[in-house]
Amino acid sequence: MTEFLEWLRHDTAGLLLLAGAGIALLLFLIIKVKLEPFIALVGTGVIVALVGGISVEALVGSATKSSDALIEKGFAGILGHITVIIGLGTVLGAILERSGGAEVLLGRLVKIFGEKGTPLAMGITGFVLGIPVFFDIGIFVLAPLVYVAAIRGGKSLALYALPLLAGLSVTHAFLPPHPGPVAAAGLFGVDLGWIILMGLICGIPAWFASGILWGTWIGKRVMVSVPEDRIVPEAEEAKGHEPSIGLVLLAIGLPMILILGGTFGNIFAPAGTFRDVLQFFGNPAIALTVAVLLAMWLLGIRRGMTSAELSEITGSSLRPVGMILLVVGAGAFFGAVLSATGVGQAVADSLSQAGLPIILSAFVISAGMRIAQGSATVAIVTTGGILAPSLASGYSQPQLALIVVAISSGSIIASHVNDGGFWIISKYFNMSVKDTLKTWTVLETVLSIVGFGMAALLYAFVR
């Protein structure tokens, strides 16, 4: 037994076996036992750490000193980076939702593109509103607008839903302040400005291919009616009380502009006060704080909301964030264990010896994790933990951002019955399991492959 443990802890083949067994246990606990991913990640991480030779003191600390414990460092490192960003992004999305910004944006786009262009308007609405609004919240908020469009157009509900879902999905996978890309950026030390830039460059073609081209093609061929139990809101009910389209776009675009300004100001602006100002307001936490305060004033207080109403919006929007943060923190801990045991380096070395480019390895590992256990966030943080040792040096910020896009692309491939989002879409848009597989699952796969293809293409040229 002692010889086997020595082989497991020090031989490359043994470390790979340990990695495979750890991931298999993780997937078994999530898929078969139905254990919460947060608990599964922590439990699996502890087991892998102990089997991999990490001492109890190194893992959990001592009675007098626990700050250096692996379990604390694993959680603290990533949560210190992403908690403020995700929290502020969630509040911003909630204010936009409650103020009626989604209806205003969609209404303006329908006027621009006309009734025939309503599916495209839906797709753009999903893309723009998906930046500050989490994926499932976006579905809950925008689904009634899809019902209205389907009734007015007299066509399949899928024709209007799929472009919208593609927009929500691509921003959820590729852009801050969503948990996956923010967590990966923290693991690899990538500036969020580069994540935004590369996410947009790769995400827009992926959204167009999956949501507009595939979505409108299959949407005309899969007939789905509006659920009878859904109450369609009166479109004129809030007329005269909506925010202007300019305010909606300002609230959504301001933090992205500030973050990009900080990123590129650091590269191109001469040293001095101007660059300091760009860097200060370009910090993601500062940029989102400015955007939230501005949205509270322009979309809230100026339009009649009380402080108590804003407090209620903020509190209710933040409640679901806790589990997201726990999963991300646990995933980072699991990744830290893989790194500390040498598993991460062994996997990286094996991939290198196999001749797989790092960006392809990132996509393949993430896609495998996604297909096996369903959660995009778990796929991203686990893949990030596995690959982080091989990305410690020698990669530029643009290259690292493209690797994050590759991981994010893999994390959304082939959504099926083990993905909670699959069932939300099936129920909200009145589709059978078969129809959901034909429409949504294929859409996610197209989005994943095109997004990765764009990332791989750009990776060949950036330095």
Both ends of the chain: CA-CA distance in Å? 48
Report the pLDDT value the prediction gives residue 243, as an integer from 0 to 100: 87
Report the pLDDT value the prediction gives residue 105, as an integer from 0 to 100: 83
Q: Which residues contact 154 (CB under 8 A, 6 or more apart)?
A: none
3-state helix/strand/coil string of the chain: CHHHHHHHHHCHHHHHHHHHHHHHHHHHHHHCCCCCHHHHHHHHHHHHHHHCCCCHHHHHCCCCCCCCCHHHHHHHHHHHHHHHHHHHHHHHHHHHHHHCHHHHHHHHHHHHHCCCCHHHHHHHHHHHHCCCCCHHHHHHHHHHHHHHHHHHHCCCHHHHHHHHHHHHHHHHHHCCCCHHHHHHHHHHCCCHHHHHHHHHHHHHHHHHHHHHHHHHHHHCCCCCCCCCCCCCCCCCCCCCCCCCHHHHHHHHHHHHHHHHHHHHHHHHCCCCHHHHHHHHHHCHHHHHHHHHHHHHHHHHHHHCCCHHHHHHHHHHHHCCHHHHHHHHHHHHHHHHHHHHCCHHHHHHHHHHHCCCCHHHHHHHHHHHHHHHHCCHHHHHHHHHHHHHHHHCCCCCHHHHHHHHHHHHHHCCCCCCCCCHHHHHHHHHCCCCHHHHHHHHHHHHHHHHHHHHHHHHHHHCCCC
Please give the Cα distance from 442 to 447 (Å, whole number).
Answer: 8
Report the pLDDT value the prediction gives residue 23, as an integer from 0 to 100: 82
Please give the Cα distance from 306 to 312 (Å, whole number).
Answer: 10
How many other CB atoms are found less than 10 A from the CB of residue 350?
16
- Residue 255 C-beta-side C-alpha neighbours within 13 Å: 29
Buried/exposed 73-87: b ≥16 CB within 10 Å, e otherwise: bbbebbbebbbbbbb
Report the pLDDT value the prediction gives residue 208, as an integer from 0 to 100: 97
Which residues of the chain are modeled with pLDDT < 70?
63-67, 81, 228-241, 344-345, 347-349, 351-352
Q: Which residues contact 189 (CB under 8 A, 6 or more apart)?
A: 400
Q: Say which amino acid occupies 192.
A: L
**Tokens 């778990």 identify what position?**
378
Report the pLDDT value the prediction gives residue 233, as an integer from 0 to 100: 45
Give pTM, 2 decimals.
0.76
Report the pLDDT value the prediction gives residue 340, as an integer from 0 to 100: 84
Report the pLDDT value the prediction gives residue 67, as an integer from 0 to 100: 61
